[in-house]
Amino acid sequence: MAPSQQAKSSKSARSLLAGLAVGACLLAGLPDAKAQTPAKQPPPAAPQGTQQAAPRVAQAAPQAVPGFWDPRRRPERPDLSRLTVIRFLTETDYPPFNFTGADGNPAGFNVDLARSLCEEIKVTCTVQMRRFETLVDALSSNRGDAIIASMAVSPQLRARVDFTDPYYRVPARFASRKDAVMPEIRPEYLEGKKVGVIAGSAHEAYLKAMFTDAELHPYPNDDALRSALRKGEVDFIFGDAISLAFWINGTDSGDCCAFSGGPFVESRFFGEGIGIAVRKGNDVLRQALNWALFRVWEKGRYTDLWLRYFSVSPF
């Protein structure tokens, strides 16, 4: 089951989501990635008597694993002696990030990552599942120590909780039919092209700001948007790359389509990323989790988790 439209700061803010490190240098100057942030300026005109070459069509890129940590900024090991248990809170039904496993226990990318962090810190770890909208109140009332539930960092939530460094981001990407895949997408490449997008979304706002010469076709929901691409009513669609990755690899797509170009991660439109929330002022736990996140990534365990849960990379 594919995740909903975006990672969540509330059920409505999920339009900006979920999982784990991806091969693209995502805004923070990270060395492992190449996120696309196209310039708004038009391309230079071609010399007179020449034609601008059309972008070549290529096969979809191979699986990419993200890296959100800079190896040159290795965090120091904090004092972990005061930590004896971490009570993680996560949400009940947001596969593949959080769901109830066949044995009735919490499962998913976030759950496995939480357990890896506890192993690194060498403390007992518990995971309690709750409805997403109750998580912050449960944390504030000391019914848990940390929320790992694909929670998007936002100014509103920062007023109530503290966050670790992002452990993944929710990129936006273009998808096209397989016979029209582009290895790179720039604003000039989509001049006059029909591009589908969810009406009123951050993705639509981004296209209006950056891809001014594309012909935008707004749709009311994901089903209508993806159906338009399958039927060839639009040349591309643009949206949440994590949801699109599951659709592309699922049966609903009919094996019609693939990603074109790379990820777009402009924070003004697509958010600051996904972090682990702790109670305000709990710097001991926040620093311990930041250190453990780096160590899990450095040892390759983050990559293993990513490949286990994402057969088609959103990046």
Per-residue pLDDT of the chain (315 residues), as tens digits, is 444 434 444 433 343 333 333 333 333 333 333 344 343 333 333 333 333 344 444 444 445 666 778 888 888 899 999 899 999 999 999 999 999 999 999 999 999 999 999 999 999 999 999 999 999 999 999 999 999 999 999 999 999 999 999 999 989 999 999 999 999 999 999 999 999 999 999 999 999 999 999 999 999 999 999 999 999 999 999 999 999 999 999 999 999 999 999 999 888 999 889 999 999 999 999 999 999 999 999 999 999 999 898 877 788
Return the beta strands (E) in 106-213 as ranges. 106-107, 124-130, 146-152, 161-163, 172-177, 194-198
Q: Determine the pLDDT at residue 255.
A: 94
User: Do residues 259 and 248 make contact, with C-beta atoms less than 8 angstroms apart?
Assistant: yes
Q: Determine the pLDDT at residue 155.
A: 92
b/e map 190-222, b = 16+ CB within 10 Å: beebbbbbbeebbbbebbeebbeebebbebeeb
Going by C-alpha positions, the residue among 19, 22, 67, 16 that lies closest to residue 270 is: 16
